[in-house]
Structure 1
Amino acid sequence: MPRRIPMITAGITETVLNIPMRDEGISLQATLFKPQGNGPFPLVIINHGADGHVTPDKQPRFRYNNGVFYFLARGYLVVQPMMRGYAGSQGLLPSAQCNEQAKVGLVDAQDIHTVIDYMLTQPNVDPVPGVIVAGQSFGGWNTLAYGTVDDTRVKALVNFAGGLNLGHCPRSPWGLVDGASAFGAQSHTPSIWFYGNNDSRFPPATWQRMYREYTEHGGQAKLVNVGDFMDDSHNYFAAAEGIQLWAPILDAFLASQGLPHDVKNPQYLPTPFPPASQYAALNDDSAIPYVNDFGRKAYQQFLKQPFPRVFAVSKDGTARTANGGFDPVGFLLNGCKAQGAQCELYAVDDRVVWHKN
């Protein structure tokens, strides 16, 4: 049967912090992830998204994600703060009226500033390389808003599909465009933006206008159009299949800003998904080597599993499959090895990857 893959947590220290905002008498909840070693480590802040189906106080604490593993692998100390009113953070965000997405982002920028101030007083943080602020969706929007703080300690902004939809407002896209214009006029920090053509939240017409307004008003930004990614490019950052695509691009951007980007802790990275081999059509179970009818039935079940999914075969006639999680390929192959089996990947997601020997 398919097995759900756990996150890789070995060798990672997770600490929950309550960071005081003394001027307002509240505290912000944040999660700190430390890689192996004694440090000091460069610092990255990763801002969370928002689930529009639950109230902010019911949203769970932002924990493991591809950004955490990417930056841990490169030797960063990772801090993920919850914005005021979210999860265990105190306070409330102001209500956003139509065309007021920038207002929310600017309040959250002050929360991020408080977190950076606090973390740079900690002995295991190295301030010399500079701080990175990153985020996806709502977190990407707050990342762009942070550029208005003009914090010279921050050397790069990383925006994955950033934005804030106001479901009650038909002019919500224009609020993003206007907000991007205002952010760009006040920001001097280099940024990189990742957006795609099949984004279910922010279509190309919206993010292209956002980028144009941001840069025309003075913001520094490199735009990466990821095209069509799986069934929704809004998930480009979060999907197991995405990290091997965006990591080299982000590496090059960080290198251009003089920031650490080389892999120091490869144990935190997932095993790459191999490309299609063109050996057989995905649905042709008669082409699967080694297996019997039971193995072919297992393959039909594999085809019904959600992505990411992996199917492997071995010469002893057995088949193994897994889906979900951060490193399904590594999980399956390591499991085979632990059981003394020599497994070969046959298919991942929507493609056959096996090569006939």
Structure 2
Amino acid sequence: MEPAISPLVRRLCLALLLSWPCLTLQAQPASASLPLDARLNEQIIMVPAGDGLRETLETTVFRPAGPGPFPLLLMNHGKQAGPAKLQARERFIYMAAEFVRRGYVVMLPMRAGFARSTGAYRDFGCDMLGNAQGQARDVLAALAYARRQSWVDPERIVVAGQSYGGMAALALATRVLPGVRGVLNFSGGLRVDMPGCDWQGALAKSFATLGAYNHIPSLWLYGANDSYFSPALARRLFNSFTGSGGRAQLLAYGPFKRDAHLTLGSRDGVAVWLPATERFLQKIGMPVRQVYRVADAPSPPATHFALQDDIAAVPYLEEQGRAAYRVFLEKAAPRAFALSASGAWGWAEEGESPDVRALASCQRRSSLPCQLYSVDESVVWPLAGASASAAGGAQ
């Protein structure tokens, strides 16, 4: 799901007649352009799926060092606005890091029609149960593939999903799946805005059916300021599910930043979802103790070139760039601002690797190398005479 761009920033973009800085506001990363994360042994594989296994699912794998077998977290993505094919590969890097630390291999398949996965996106309109089951078909294919791998422990598996992926995970839990011990539902559901569709009612009805056929316990996590699923709707879905016999527990937490729907993709969201997730994992007999060290992502050191809020001290920028930097200073960390001697600039907030995304945004408009000026609460621009780097740290 895509967050809305704030009116202030939208006005700024229109005033500048430049759309490219606005692209950096998406909390979901453009993962296709991000480097693979060596800390987590990240790799991309193509998983066979579909009738006769003629389709392939672009799948990200994170794993601890060693041959395994490792317990598995099979994670499922949501759907952003727009055509599915234009949605970039999802990583949920902060979640992946926490599970790799605990000895899990993490698999994140892009379902049919998304990103570089082949096949067509399955859309059943207001038929919410059909939508959930259609997406679960690819999750089942990814699960079957994972169970055949020597590095996966087929008896210790957790299936998780965010937004539409959470609904798909609950649909998968209507099956008897040996080795799958639990489901993690992060803001699960689907919003369909179309004439004649009572999407909330249809969603509640489908969740009742999913609960009636449920075989696997689940933990649900919904925040108070979720832009898609209000607390009242989340409770309605939970009651529909458990009232039909589904096994679930609900963590209804408070507001998270500008939109709780994006909690899982935020660096700061870990403190919200991890404690309850660990308790649930322990309850279903899955490991929770950290057994592998994963280094924190590198970050450029503060140089104290200038005070961060000293807009006049930022080099190269003209009036438009300084207006953009003023907007950047209003954003919460994680965030990054990059600029170039050409006067180009770009910034990013939230999500994965804002430093890399800010640099990429700047570089698209610059013939000269872009450099990071500010990361989080620090100015990292090199002091006079110091060596300069044209790339930021990657996650």
TM-score tier, shorter chain, comes to 0.7 to 0.9
Map of 1:301-316 to 2, 5 A cutoff? 304-309=329-334
Q: Which amino acid aligns with 2:113?
A: G
Structure 1 residues 240 and 295, CA gap change in structure 2 (3 angstroms): closer
Q: Which residue of 2 aligns with 1:135?
A: 161
Structure 2 counterpart SS, 1:194: strand
**More moved, 59-68 vs 133-142:** 59-68
Map of 1:150-189 to 2, 5 A cutoff? 150-169=176-195, 170-189=197-216
Q: Which residue of 1 aligns with 2:294?
A: 267
- Which of 142, 146, 159 aligns to 1:115? It is 142
CA distances 1:3-40 after superposition (whole Å, capped 9, x unpaired): x9988923323132232435363232222222223311
How many angstroms does 1:309 deviate by?
4.1
- Which of 230, 233, 236 aligns to 1:203? It is 230
Contact 1:199 1:233 in 2 (8 A): yes
Structure 1 counterpart SS, 2:125: coil
**Distance in 2, Cα, partners of 1:164 & 1:45:** 20
Q: Which amino acid aligns with 2:252?
A: N
Q: Structure 2, unaligned stretches of length 5 or more?
A: 1-24, 299-303, 314-324, 337-347, 355-374, 384-395
- Which of 47, 51, 54 aligns to 2:76? It is 47
**Distance in 2, Cα, partners of 1:7 & 1:307:** 24
Q: Does 1:13 align with 2:29?
A: no
Q: TM-score, normalised by structure 1?
A: 0.75
Structure 1 residues 211 and 324, CA gap change in structure 2 (3 angstroms): closer
**Distance in 2, Cα, partners of 1:240 & 1:226:** 17
Q: Does 1:232 align with 2:245?
A: no
How many angstroms does 1:160 deviate by?
0.5
Contact 1:192 1:224 in 2 (8 A): yes
Q: Does 1:73 align with 2:107?
A: no
Structure 1 residues 269 and 143, CA gap change in structure 2 (3 angstroms): farther
**Distance in 2, Cα, partners of 1:227 & 1:239:** 15
Q: Which amino acid aligns with 2:65?
A: Q
Q: Does 1:61 align with 2:89?
A: yes
Q: Which residue of 2 aligns with 1:92?
A: 120
Map of 1:241-280 to 2, 5 A cutoff? 241-267=268-294
Contact 1:93 1:107 in 2 (8 A): no
CA distances 1:267-312 after superposition (whole Å, capped 9, x unpaired): 25679xxxxxxxxxxxxxxxxxxx898465269959725222489x
Contact 1:49 1:136 in 2 (8 A): yes
Structure 2 counterpart SS, 1:87: coil
How many angstroms does 1:141 deviate by?
1.1
Q: Which amino acid aligns with 1:145?
A: A
How many angstroms does 1:139 deviate by?
0.9
- Which of 154, 167, 171 aligns to 1:145? It is 171
How many angstroms does 1:120 deviate by?
0.9
Structure 2 counterpart SS, 1:127: strand
**Distance in 1, Cα, partners of 2:305 & 2:149:** 59
Q: Does 1:297 align with 2:310?
A: yes
**Distance in 1, Cα, partners of 2:274 & 2:297:** 11
Structure 1 counterpart SS, 2:46: strand
Structure 2 counterpart SS, 1:52: coil
Structure 2 counterpart SS, 1:155: strand
Structure 1 residues 268 and 141, CA gap change in structure 2 (3 angstroms): farther
CA distances 1:179-202 after superposition (whole Å, capped 9, x unpaired): 110100111211000001211111
How many angstroms does 1:91 deviate by?
2.2
Contact 1:196 1:204 in 2 (8 A): yes
Q: Which amino acid aligns with 2:248?
A: A
Q: Which amino acid aligns with 1:142?
A: A
List structure 1 segments (4+ residues) > 4 angstroms apart after TM superposition: 4-8, 268-271, 291-296, 298-303, 322-328, 331-336
Kindly report the root-mean-square deviation, in angstroms, between the aligned alpha carbons of the 2 structures. Answer: 3.4
Contact 1:7 1:327 in 2 (8 A): no
- Which of 19, 26, 31 aligns to 2:55? It is 26
**More moved, 232-241 vs 12-21:** 12-21
- Quick one: percent identity of the two aligned structures? 29
Structure 1 residues 9 and 175, CA gap change in structure 2 (3 angstroms): same
Contact 2:102 2:290 in 1 (8 A): yes
Q: Structure 1, unaligned stretches of length 5 or more?
A: 272-290, 312-321, 340-357
**Distance in 2, Cα, partners of 1:71 & 1:62:** 16
Contact 2:208 2:241 in 1 (8 A): yes
Q: How many residues align?
A: 303
Contact 2:90 2:108 in 1 (8 A): yes
Q: Which amino acid aligns with 2:210?
A: F
Q: Which residue of 2 aligns with 1:190?
A: 217
Structure 2 counterpart SS, 1:42: strand
